[in-house]
Structure 1
Amino acid sequence: MPIIMEPKLISGNANLPLATAIARRMTMHRGREVSLVDARVERFNDGEIFVEVFENVRGEDMFVIQPTSNPANDNLMELLIIADALRRSSAARITAVIPYFGYARQDRRSKARTPITAKLVANMLVEAGIERILTLDLHATQIQGFFDIPVDNLYASPIYALDAKHHFRDVMDDVMVVSPDVGGVARARDLAQRIDAPLSIVDKRRGKPGEVAEMTVIGEVKDKVCVIVDDIVDTAGTLCKAAEVLMDNGAREVHSYITHGVLSGPAVDRISKSVMKSLVITDTIAPNAAVRGCANIRIVPTAPMFAQAILNTANGTSVSSLFDHKTLGPIYEGLYAAE
């Protein structure tokens, strides 16, 4: 019989509310309190990061909860230094729970003399002593191959399937799932199959980075309730333009499901003025006050899924069971009715 160790959680400063919610959720599952390991993660006057763990972690199964979102470099360094502190404190295993994996968009050489930074970050994480990665909706799934350690990539589409079936239950026959570009078709198709909806594509051609020159809708969206599906929304320029193009092509409404709400620069202002009726994001990146105050942005929690994934990892049971929205239904009880 394998020895089952109780998982212990520790968090950096990137998204403490999510880490606390995961601990609270695990407390519900375990029937006894699960709290974050007492530690301090702070900065010296010159910006250097210092970590001190106040509890004994020798022989423990440690899970470090830390998205590498903005400020990406600071949050990445916090993760690396926490992992080093745990390794030097004789933790039995260190798993990095990275809800949002920063630098994932730099997964290949786009032109001559450019880096593959996602691979560099993978090397750094392994060298720091991390033995397993748990993340959500990697920008490019091949990033899993950058690691020589196990990488469990969870998917937001099962949560979004529950959400769509709940919020669009009266108009499900009119829902059309839309991929905002050709590269995201697989992600959009996954949700379309889960909710039994047709699929359309917005083909975009860029003039230069951050600027879209032309958009064409592939598929009939007239009188449809369009749902755009993607993994990252940054400045929201492309997203808002795609919503306009869909409306110009006769769509009745446009909504969006985007996993990681980076929402930098003018994003929130653009979304608030957009023709989109709603943008649904997850809490993998801690939302600021502007995001929380935007009337047409809605945030769905990931803590129930991450808590169950951590427990499954610690117990040596299947993580892939969480890929099914029917499995997630009971986990998200109280938020969505089980389908």
Structure 2
Amino acid sequence: MPTTSEPKLISGNANRALASNVARRLSMHRGMSVELCDARVERFNDGEIFVEVYENVRGEDMFIIQPTSNPANDNLMELLIITDALRRSSAGRITAVIPYFGYARQDRRMKARTPISAKLVANMMVEAGIERVLTMDLHATQIQGFFDIPVDNLYASPVFALDIKDHFKGVMDDIMVVSPDVGGVARARELAKRIDAPLSIVDKRREKAGEIAEMTVIGDVVGKKCIIVDDLIDTAGTLCKAAEHLMEAGAAEVHAYISHGVLSGPAVERVTNSKLKSLVITDSIEATQAVKDCANIRIVPMAPLFAQAIINTWNGTSVSSLFDNKTLVPLYEGLYNAD
């Protein structure tokens, strides 16, 4: 059990907006003001990262809110150096809240003489002094096994289910959940089960990395409002091509629900000019101005989910209870009115 009466939050520079929203939600839950720990996370002229914590953290239950998104290396180093500063300041326990876990796509050796970078990053975090990880929608769930410390992997699909039921109220019988590849079927099936919708698959074949040779739609999507489900969207090439193939196969509309909006390079322009009627992402990665200005991109807040997960971790109660609608719906009361 924690030695203090409240959990304490600290944030790097990766997603200050999400960290502030989590603090605000904690204030609502706890009935008292919860502020981010007073600290500075800055860079010297040569790019070195410097951290100074201005508050006493001795014996405190610390939660570092820091996705390791672009720039991944800078944000990862911020997380490690903040951890070291807290450990050397005698923090009671250090939990890394990593809404988006960078390097997760490098979870296995696809070819000879390649690294397993996700395992290396896990080792670095543990060595720095992190004692627990709270993350969301890992690209590969086996990454949890790379750590010798507890890892809680939250899921966006329960929140997406609430959003879909609210935004597609009255036309739920027309919904078809689509997995953009065979590897994502389990994720798509989980959402389909939650909203009681059928499942389709877009089978893609690549001749080489980054180039799709062929796509085939498996399932009858004629007249359906298709919802593509995936864990992340990077350059949006695959997603936009999948939307085109679904429309060619007779879909009435194509929407997408993606947990992590990496949206690098030409992604926003592609989404804007694509067949996608809407793209829904979470705020696990801080949105750029271009993303905020895009008419067919909408952002779902994750602060209610992460705030409750932090409280449950601090209290030593179940985090998996957040996957249940009975627990989740009250957290989003006022935002969704789905039954």
TM-score, normalization by structure 2? 0.99
Aligned to 1:142: 142
Aligned to 1:336: 336
Aligned to 1:180: 180
Question: Does the CA contact (< 8 Å) of 2:281 and 2:298 recur in 1?
Answer: yes
What amino acid does structure 2 have at the position aligned with 1:284? S
**Counterpart of 2:36 in 1: which secondary structure?**
coil
Runs of 4+ in 1 over 2 A off after TM superposition: 1-5
Matches within 5 A, 1:1-339: 5-337=5-337, 339=339
**Counterpart of 1:67 in 2: which secondary structure?**
coil
Q: CA deviation at 1:327?
A: 1.9
Q: CA deviation at 1:325?
A: 3.0
Cα distance in structure 2, aligned partners of 1:250 and 1:171: 17
Question: Does the CA contact (< 8 Å) of 1:4 and 1:314 recur in 2?
Answer: no
Q: CA deviation at 1:326?
A: 3.4
Cα distance in structure 1, aligned partners of 2:35 and 2:200: 44
Cα distance in structure 2, aligned partners of 1:325 and 1:104: 28
**Counterpart of 1:235 in 2: which secondary structure?**
coil
Q: CA deviation at 1:338?
A: 5.0
Question: Does the CA contact (< 8 Å) of 1:133 and 1:150 recur in 2?
Answer: yes
Question: Does the CA contact (< 8 Å) of 1:64 and 1:96 recur in 2?
Answer: yes
Cα distance in structure 1, aligned partners of 2:2 and 2:207: 56
Question: Does the CA contact (< 8 Å) of 2:2 and 2:61 recur in 1?
Answer: no
**Counterpart of 1:240 in 2: which secondary structure?**
helix
Q: CA deviation at 1:211?
A: 1.4
Question: Does the CA contact (< 8 Å) of 1:23 and 1:36 recur in 2?
Answer: yes
Question: Does the CA contact (< 8 Å) of 1:4 and 1:315 recur in 2?
Answer: no
**Counterpart of 1:118 in 2: which secondary structure?**
helix
Question: Does the CA contact (< 8 Å) of 2:3 and 2:60 recur in 1?
Answer: no
Question: Does the CA contact (< 8 Å) of 1:136 and 1:156 recur in 2?
Answer: yes
Aligned residues: 339
Question: Does the CA contact (< 8 Å) of 1:5 and 1:60 recur in 2?
Answer: no
Question: Does the CA contact (< 8 Å) of 2:2 and 2:314 recur in 1?
Answer: no
Cα distance in structure 1, aligned partners of 2:63 and 2:199: 38
Q: CA deviation at 1:337?
A: 1.4
Cα distance in structure 2, aligned partners of 1:232 and 1:204: 17
What amino acid does structure 1 have at the position aligned with 2:151? V
Question: Does the CA contact (< 8 Å) of 1:161 and 1:325 recur in 2?
Answer: no
Residue identity over aligned pairs, in percent, reads: 79
Cα distance in structure 1, aligned partners of 2:55 and 2:275: 51
CA shift digits 1:141-176 (9 cap, x unpaired): 000000000000000000000000000112100100
Cα distance in structure 2, aligned partners of 1:217 and 1:165: 25
Judged with a 3 Å threshold, the aligned counterparts in structure 2 of structure 1 residues 3 and 74 are, in CA distance, closer, same or farther, namely: closer
Q: CA deviation at 1:209?
A: 1.4
What amino acid does structure 1 have at the position aligned with 2:131? E
**Counterpart of 1:19 in 2: which secondary structure?**
helix
Q: CA deviation at 1:4?
A: 6.7
Cα distance in structure 1, aligned partners of 2:239 and 2:172: 22
Judged with a 3 Å threshold, the aligned counterparts in structure 2 of structure 1 residues 221 and 338 are, in CA distance, closer, same or farther, namely: closer
* RMSD of aligned alpha carbons: 1.0
Q: CA deviation at 1:3?
A: 6.1
Question: Does the CA contact (< 8 Å) of 2:175 and 2:198 recur in 1?
Answer: yes
Q: CA deviation at 1:2?
A: 8.1
What amino acid does structure 1 have at the position aligned with 2:160? Y
Q: CA deviation at 1:306?
A: 0.1
| Structure 1 unaligned spans of 5+ | none
**Counterpart of 2:192 in 1: which secondary structure?**
helix
Cα distance in structure 1, aligned partners of 2:335 and 2:208: 41
What amino acid does structure 1 have at the position aligned with 2:48? E
What amino acid does structure 1 have at the position aligned with 2:22? I
Question: Does the CA contact (< 8 Å) of 1:103 and 1:117 recur in 2?
Answer: yes
What amino acid does structure 2 have at the position aligned with 1:275? K
Question: Does the CA contact (< 8 Å) of 1:83 and 1:94 recur in 2?
Answer: yes
Cα distance in structure 2, aligned partners of 1:334 and 1:58: 38
What amino acid does structure 2 have at the position aligned with 1:144? Q
**Counterpart of 1:50 in 2: which secondary structure?**
strand
| Structure 2 unaligned spans of 5+ | none
